Structure 1
């Protein structure tokens, strides 16, 4: 017995030694940058120019409604008027009906170009809600320290922040060594097919590969990562995919007074219940794992001990993450039954029952794998399984060991020195997905400080961006262009 106890003690001591050693070696991965180049921004003037852009109702075509062509044309004219140096120095190409690609030629043609990406279209305001806004949604009003209007955050703020930075760099005589591309899509909110997808195709046809891509994405948030007291700049390094499975069951129909033991609705209900009871497996990988690898060293010792030893504690971490819907979505392909159809009358048996289940696909999984999962779990030949509508595979996970990643980290911390930069998995889709085949370094980040209340303004009521926050975004884009193009 003493030998057994002694052996157990040796094992415990050895395990403790391994855990502590890994925790002490789990050191910060934050870049310690040099001071940024001095860059002055007239915040009020820049805010006024953004406000002018927000007054133009640039809605892409959707659900049978035509695009607001006149608004897009006016916006492009406005861009020419407000940024004359940019339009004189950069090559401008119209792509599709509302998108535009700018090329700022560098002095070294051997270097792969860097791409800055944003979109000019906005989502519509819900009918009947305009009066509930503090300021009209297309007013572009600058008031109370904010620029108000649809698109201030998503995504004209990014597009015009980039334009502001390039115009100012040109005025200062800056010349990039690496070619810089600016791609502004006109239909991101409805899929990006005529904008970003067409621009990516054009670059592929020209044989262009990219050093890096920067698009909209994560922001600077406080209190988002438990255990980290500093604000965290979340950089999307991958996106989930999208697929909807259509499940159809054929029935005999007839009158409800003489039902069979199980109707088509009953068969289909059983299938949905099985899917909800058997979600796809949770996995801590890609951007979700990297979040803790970069943020973990900034936590207290107890949390560092945990995240430094995921080889042992990963099941515990996954149990905690899957307990909440918001974090569960970051570690598994999610299953959401969204539509169900049967008979049109309460006394008629359905001749056909149909359900739609939406899946947001975790990187590492695939759409085909999702369909195989559905068929295996449902396990009923009466249920026919297919796909419905738009399908998108999850994006590859971008590199976090490249010079492009280091330059992005450096740029963020030069302008926002108090933040921790961490990768994460984006749950939604952006235009960047069309460029993943052109670069290993596709990142999704918006240089804005937001709180949790601000997030509801995205696609919601009272969308706005602070005047000073917008000025900081312009400073970031200018510093980023300097860093990636030299």
Structure 2
């Protein structure tokens, strides 16, 4: 955001008919905590523990596909062996066949519990890409200061780091006043319906109300936010919903030598062109407004003017945010044409053509809103419109980026990563965290590893890895978070 905003700000100030731009007094950063003395840890042993977990191929295939029971059974055994104090002193139960719930009882029953979540499953390796890995994806190799393997970022590093922190505190004799839960689903990558959802249902049935949940979904970004050189710890306060719609066009088929006036392919193509030209409208959600306000002091002057006066300059601000796919996705329900299918042979006119369109829904957008958008945009009632079954929901309600629970996480970031700016926002994907929406006050999304633009292709891609020192800092973060949240 640059000269365009400056020019508009000047025009509004002169011609605004009495409208005056606000001063640049914006939402402050959360109160900074003093960095703490580094927590001494055996980083080599920690890396080896993560590597052991990465060697187990706890893969989630398509929803409803059989679970690779041998890998999950071995993973459970590894956790019990590596974290003996946690398994001896905490309440541990298996839920939904392979998911795990740990409860660390606090001394003060009046305090609402907190829950840390992660998932033990990983996505498959794309066939034919195995040779592109520096080390085999399930070899769990520690080399050159790096732990290599599927799950190093998504999401076994969080799970194992949390339990390492728990084991460390138990060994030191720490006892929380607040009850702390650790929830580890086994099917997050295919929707979490048999894992996190069942854990949440179990908590609800027991009358448990959580103060907050913390799950994956964001990280400490470096070089990702344009105009900001400092690392940004984005503690997200919401996630998007997920839905795919199927558009089906039907028409008379026949021989290609005598094409009819009406074609299923042509009709569907016209609808897709109209949709592609008209994505859902952009808007700001409270978590994204909080993100902009917290980052504004570190942005150029023109951006600060627009953010401080976004009620007046919202159209221009949204237009500027739309210039990048990342920031555009923060401000709108995204619409992606992902599958088109028609025909069986070059000389046969198909009677049916269909397409799948994937939507990632902003908080506050319902599936009915998307259906209305599609219907209005394509203007063709003859096209059949259905929602794909399975993994798909509207977004859960966003949480408060100014709540005390957010401040606890922000304080921990300040203590372990003092150079990072703390921000908020929403994540563009979906996580297990949404399943806990009915049993919590607040839900946040953050994993304490450094994420650069290069890492985007490694999560669910080739050569997933994490630095040994970086992983040790994840453990340090969770140690302090458990102390800060546990009291």
TM-score tier after normalising by the smaller chain length: over 0.9
Comparing 238-247 with 170-179, greater Cα deviation is found at: 238-247
Could you tell me whether the CA contact under 8 Å between 1:36 and 1:479 is conserved in 2? no
Cα deviation code 1:2-21 (max 9, x no counterpart): xxxxxx999639999943x5
TM superposition shift of 1:470: 0.6
- For structure 2, the 5+ residue unaligned runs are 1-9
TM norm structure 2: 0.93
Match of 2:3 in 1: none
Could you tell me whether the CA contact under 8 Å between 1:286 and 1:363 is conserved in 2? no
TM superposition shift of 1:73: 0.9
Could you tell me whether the CA contact under 8 Å between 1:59 and 1:68 is conserved in 2? yes
Partner of 1:425, secondary structure, is coil
- Inter-CA distance 131–38: structure 2 relative to 1 (3 Å threshold): closer
Cα deviation code 1:347-379 (max 9, x no counterpart): 222222222222111112111110011112222
Mapped to 1, the partners of 2:56 and 2:421 lie a distance apart of 36
Q: Does 1:184 align with 2:184?
A: yes
Match of 1:5 in 2: none
Q: Does 1:325 align with 2:332?
A: no
Could you tell me whether the CA contact under 8 Å between 2:34 and 2:414 is conserved in 1? no
Mapped to 2, the partners of 1:321 and 1:255 lie a distance apart of 49
TM superposition shift of 1:74: 1.1
Match of 2:404 in 1: 403
Match of 1:196 in 2: 196
Match of 1:428 in 2: 429
What's the C-alpha RMSD, in Å, of the aligned pairs? 2.1
Give runs of aligned pairs for residues 56-67 of structure 1, distance below 5 A.
56-62=56-62, 65-67=65-67
Match of 1:303 in 2: 303
Partner of 1:101, secondary structure, is strand
Mapped to 2, the partners of 1:58 and 1:471 lie a distance apart of 23
Give runs of aligned pairs for residues 115-194 of structure 1, distance below 5 A.
115-194=115-194
TM superposition shift of 1:303: 3.0
Mapped to 1, the partners of 2:130 and 2:120 lie a distance apart of 21
Could you tell me whether the CA contact under 8 Å between 1:29 and 1:297 is conserved in 2? no
Partner of 1:261, secondary structure, is coil
Q: Does 1:12 align with 2:20?
A: no
Could you tell me whether the CA contact under 8 Å between 2:239 and 2:427 is conserved in 1? yes
Mapped to 2, the partners of 1:358 and 1:170 lie a distance apart of 45
Q: Does 1:51 align with 2:54?
A: no
Cα deviation code 1:207-240 (max 9, x no counterpart): 1110010101111112222232311011221111
Match of 1:353 in 2: 353
Match of 2:114 in 1: 114
TM superposition shift of 1:139: 1.4
**Alignment: residue pair count:** 477
Match of 1:272 in 2: 272
TM norm structure 1: 0.93
Partner of 1:339, secondary structure, is strand
Mapped to 1, the partners of 2:230 and 2:384 lie a distance apart of 50
Comparing 56-65 with 117-126, greater Cα deviation is found at: 56-65
Cα deviation code 1:61-98 (max 9, x no counterpart): 53675322111111111111111111111000011221
Mapped to 1, the partners of 2:184 and 2:17 lie a distance apart of 53
Comparing 175-184 with 345-354, greater Cα deviation is found at: 345-354
Cα deviation code 1:420-453 (max 9, x no counterpart): 1111221111110101122231111010113211
Mapped to 2, the partners of 1:228 and 1:247 lie a distance apart of 42
TM superposition shift of 1:27: 5.6
Match of 1:467 in 2: 468
Match of 1:445 in 2: 446
Mapped to 1, the partners of 2:240 and 2:227 lie a distance apart of 26
